[in-house]
Amino acid sequence: MRIIRAPTLARAHELAVRTVLEKGWVLETENDEATIECEELAFEVESPESEPMVSPASRFQQRFLDAYAENLLHGSDAKFEYDYHRRLFDWGERISAEGEDVHVDQIAYIARKIAAAPNTRRAVAVTWNPVVDEELDDCPCLQLVQCVLRDGKLQMKVVFRSNDILSAAGANMYALVRLQKAIADRIGVPCGRYTHIALVPHVYYRRDLNDIEPFCKKGAEIQPVAEVCRACGKCPRATRA
């Protein structure tokens, strides 16, 4: 596992993109999509609310990320195979217990658990639902959210089974830190460290080729593996790759 420590979410995103593009390898997914995949990544941000929270190299900027975070926190009318709001705030689709449908607000549980036992390690929410997800083509990447109260601050730790580092990770981090702040406000404490673990980090280097260049800056910031440079062809590295 590679560990990235950064002062802001924006810098963590930039370093994660660089790590995957420079240290990764080519892999065709089960859906025949071309990716650069990397070993596990963990990025830690000590003060996740510090600016900048959004990298200027990212295609997705403040307005989009605010809308994405609002959907995670409050839900959306849009129809998806799954959504993180429902998985976190109303877990239990197609599951029943004692003749009643299951509806679990896991975020309320996290806040309640920490308020009752500030030293707990059990303030955990999960998204995976085997009853539903084993049959989905598009199943949740975020798997687990854990919060702990340490040194008077609410820390959040999240685990992704798979994470599109270029196009999704920036938005994921931003929205989850907004969730961290919402939980901290419920308890009446400030936010502490945010830790983001991606078990299979990757970049769709052909699909999102135009989004790589703002991070790469024609090889000035990032020296991607040869396959990415050959696919791009926009700087002298392509002919040397």
- Mean residue pLDDT across the chain: 96
Average pLDDT over residues 5-24: 98
User: Does 159 reside within a domain?
Assistant: yes
Distance CA 179, CA 168 (A): 16
What is the full DSSP assignment across 81-113? S--HHHHHHSB-TT-EETTEE--B-HHHHHHHH
Question: What domain range is 119 assigned to?
Answer: 2-210
Within-domain flag for 70? yes
Residue 233 lies in a domain: no
Calculate helix-pair angle for 9-23, 169-187, nearest 10 degrees.
150
Q: Is residue 89 part of a domain?
A: yes
Would the pLDDT of 51 be above 80? yes
| Domain assignment present for 35 | yes
Percent of the chain with pLDDT over 90: 92
Note whether residue 27 is domain-resident.
yes
CATH number at residue 205: 3.30.572.10
Over 90: is that where the pLDDT of 237 sits? Answer: no
Q: How many domains would you assign to the chain?
A: 1
Strands (E), 40-168: 41-45, 96-97, 100-101, 124-126, 142-150, 153-160, 163-164
Could you list the active site residues?
A: 141
Query: What is the C-alpha separation between 146 and 156, in angstroms, rounded?
Result: 6
Confidence of residue 86 (pLDDT cuts 50, 70, 90): very high
With cut-offs at 50, 70 and 90, classify the pLDDT of residue 184.
Answer: very high
Residue from 224, 230, 226, 236 nearest 165 by CA: 224
Q: What token pair was written down for 83? A: 């959504």
Whether the CB-CB separation of 42 and 197 falls below 8 Å is answered with yes
137: burial class by Cβ within 10 Å (0-12, 13-18, 19+)? exposed
Report whether pLDDT(241) > 70. no
* Per-residue pLDDT tens digits for 118-172: 999 999 999 999 999 999 989 999 999 999 999 999 999 999 999 999 999 999 9
CB 46 within 8 A of CB 216: no
Contact 4, 19 (CB under 8 A): yes
- Answer whether residue 234 is part of any domain: no
For the whole prediction, is pTM greater than 0.85? yes
Residue 229 resides in a domain: no
